[in-house]
Structure 1
Amino acid sequence: MQYTSAQKTVVFDCAGKYGAGLALETLGNCLKTLNVKPEDVLISNKLGWYRTSELQNGIDPTFEPGVWRNLKYDAVQKISYGGILECYEQGNQLLNGYKAELVSVHDPDEYIAGAHSQLEKDKRYNDIIEAYRALCELKNRDEVKAIGIGSKDWRMIKRIVNDVNIDWVMIANSMTVHNHPQELVTFMEELQRRGTIIINAAVFNGGFLIGEDYYNYRLMDPLNDQKLFEWRIGFFKLCNKYRIKPAQVCIVFGLNAPGVNSIALNGTDVNCVKENIEMATVLNAVIPSSFWKEMKEHGLIDKNYTYL
């Protein structure tokens, strides 16, 4: 593999939670091996998880049981003023000479959801605000370029942006061709007026919209989730009629949503990466207006949705 200095800065999105720091460590080592200049990359680190002790062989980590295999280290959650700074410093150490310049608190919605009482929810929300206070101080010292928030629950983003000055938001699993509630549309329009950058993530709803078995990380059942499968059958039928790939529709819809500056595409097949990028570049060129009209006529998208 060879590296040549890119005309545009290449962006990497990572997190200390991924493999208990393994993803950050691997990214840093790869960049170092390729002699990539730090100024040629922009790294985003979602903060809140801190690598701890080395695991004995065969022992699973304590976080996300059953998800990770053969990890060398464990990790603990640290969301607070001091904790988020520890995560930031450790992340830069793992990056091996590179540093994160885009920072955020990792999945604040899940952190709140883990509370067992309203009192604990209030405390955890205060933890999040304190963590962002620390990140704002990093930005004020020019140690990072921008502060953001990513969440699968867009309502958590709405709550936090009212208390914190955020540069960018990543909305996940929420603004897709299958699911695009008017309340979210209104909120995204508000963010656009503020000048907040919007990244639309998980536009395939976890892969279900392009034929996979999981919808937003939950395994679907044809009997219990019959309406969802019926929607997909109708969607695929219309895509076949127009000879359009479902992924293309998802990408174009996600990019055209109000205020969206970029989308984040995830895939389980490395061979799809190039194709996804090409589809995002082509945009509306292969999707006629009659397709969207029929989508509305068949009840596959909201008839009042206008960002097409």
Structure 2
Amino acid sequence: MSSPLTRRPLGGTGLEVTPLCAGAAPLGSMPQEFGYETPVERGIATVRAAFDSGINFLDTANIYGAGESERRIGAALSEIGGAPEGFVLATKVDRDADSGDFSGDRMRRSAEESLQRLGVDRVPLLHLHDPEHISLAEAMAPGGPVEALLRLRDEGVAEHVGLAGGPVGMMAELLREAPFEVLVTHNRWTLLDRSADGLIDEAVDRGVAVLNAAVFGGGLLAREPGASTRYAYREADAEVLDAARRMHDACERYGVRLPAAALQFSVRDPRITSTVVGTSRPERIAETIRLAEQHVPEELWAELLALAAPPERWQW
């Protein structure tokens, strides 16, 4: 496996990104999702650490912490006078958290809010976020969110556009309907859950770059057995917890940390351009790089690949 810091082409965008992407959702301090608070200064320090690490890719969203993630990134950018040369900053346009408004007009306001918080006049990559909150017809309607996103690209607010969401069926339909350049899938291509396999194949066949997020399932695959009972931001089924325990035991036999295997499951996949790893402490940036570099024997992969949770427990 190549270095987690060797840049790769992001599909046909012309951008180059590292196989590791710093995920900024935890920077927004969302205890309802992650179970802990992230103080302001620690969040800003984590962004600084990302800038200094060799990772050149950071992913956030308008809705993370009601904009707090973007504010903290903006504060770090202000300290250093802007993003380092070649750094790729991605954010996402979001529905209104209070009203649920997912209109084209809302997408434009979402982008404007993000640029203001980040302190930039454009971003290299802008995603449509969580369209599963509306129907396919609403997403694709004239003047609707997809059209608005494409117009933002045409106006130069974003250099490139992507699609970030959950349910694999709707994500596949949207990829067929609109010229997205990048796909972000989350919680659906992990050691435990292989829901997104076909979706990833289809994206690659269409020339769409794939980013994979939440490879630890919100923490279950990053901690000791019993330390967490949640997967994908909700209580996990007993079969999912049992699969995680068996994976931990298999890794122990080979002297490999489970989070290293969970991360490399994605990083080693040639279809995945970059793996988004949420971080909320500066020291986690270097630790994530170390996890990506730890040797995982082929014999262990054979065991782990057979230990996924049953398909009926996957997110789909």
- When the two structures are superposed, what TM-score results if normalisation uses the length of structure 1? 0.73
SS in 1 for 2:219: helix
The residue aligned with 1:144 is 158
Q: CA shift at 1:78, angstroms?
A: 3.6
8-17 or 28-37, larger mean C-alpha shift: 8-17
Do residues 300 (structure 1) and 307 (structure 2) align? yes
1:278 and 1:189 map into 2 onto residues whose CA distance is: 28
User: Are 1:219 and 2:235 counterparts?
Assistant: yes
- The residue aligned with 1:255 is 267
Report 1 or 2 for greater relative contact order, CA contacts < 8 Å, sequence distance ≥ 6.
Answer: 2
Matched with 1:103 is 126
Aligned to 2:104: 81
- Relative distance call for 1:129 and 1:190 in structure 2 (3 A) is farther
Distance 1:267 1:127 in 2: 36
Query: How many Å apart are 1:123 and its aligned residue?
Result: 5.6
What is the letter of the counterpart of residue 21 of structure 1? G
**CA offsets 1:191-248 (integer angstroms, 9 cap, x no match):** 212221100111111211233221111124xxxx332232122111111100000011
TM-superposed deviation, 1:263: 0.3
Structure 2 CA distance, aligned partners of 1:128 and 1:213?
Answer: 43
Which residue of structure 2 lines up, in the alignment, with residue 286 of structure 1? 295
**C-alpha displacement at 1:6, in angstroms?**
7.5
Q: Sequence identity of aligned pairs in percent?
A: 21
Q: 1:129 to 1:240 in 2, by over 3 A?
A: farther
2:258 corresponding residue in structure 1: 246
Residue from 243, 246, 266 that aligns with 2:278? 266
Cα 1:78–1:103 change in 2 (3 A) is farther
Distance 1:8 1:215, change over 3 A: closer
Alignment correspondent of 2:241: 229
Kept in 2: contact 1:45–1:103 (CA 8 A): yes
Which blocks of at least 5 consecutive residues in structure 2 are unaligned?
1-44, 310-316
1: distance between equivalents of 2:56 and 2:291? Answer: 19
Q: 1:227 to 1:76 in 2, by over 3 A?
A: same
Task: Return closer, same or farther for 1:198/1:291 CA change in 2, 3 Å cut-off.
Answer: same
Gapped regions of structure 1 (runs ≥ 5): 51-62, 64-74, 113-120, 303-308
The CA RMSD over aligned residues, in Å, is 2.9
Letter in structure 1 aligned against 2:74? G
Per-residue Cα deviation, 1:248-270 (whole angstroms, up to 9, x for no partner): 11111112335111100124554
Cα distance change of structure 1 residues 129 and 188 upon mapping to structure 2, 3 Å threshold = farther
- Give the deviation of 1:161 after TM superposition: 0.6
CA contact (8 A) 1:170 1:201 kept: yes
Q: Secondary structure at the match of 2:278?
A: coil
Partners of 1:108 and 1:128 within 8 A in 2: no
Q: Does residue 131 of the first structure (1) align with residue 138 of the second (2)?
A: no
Separation (CA, whole Å) in 2 of partners of 1:20 and 1:151: 18
Deviation at 1:19, TM superposition (A): 2.8
Q: Deviation of residue 38 (structure 1)?
A: 7.2
Q: Distance in 2 between matches of 1:175 and 1:122?
A: 23
Give the greater-gyration-radius structure (CA).
1
Q: Secondary structure at the match of 2:218?
A: helix
Partner residue, 2:169 = 155
Q: What is the letter of the counterpart of residue 307 of structure 2?
A: L
Structure-2 separation of matches of 1:130 and 1:39 = 34
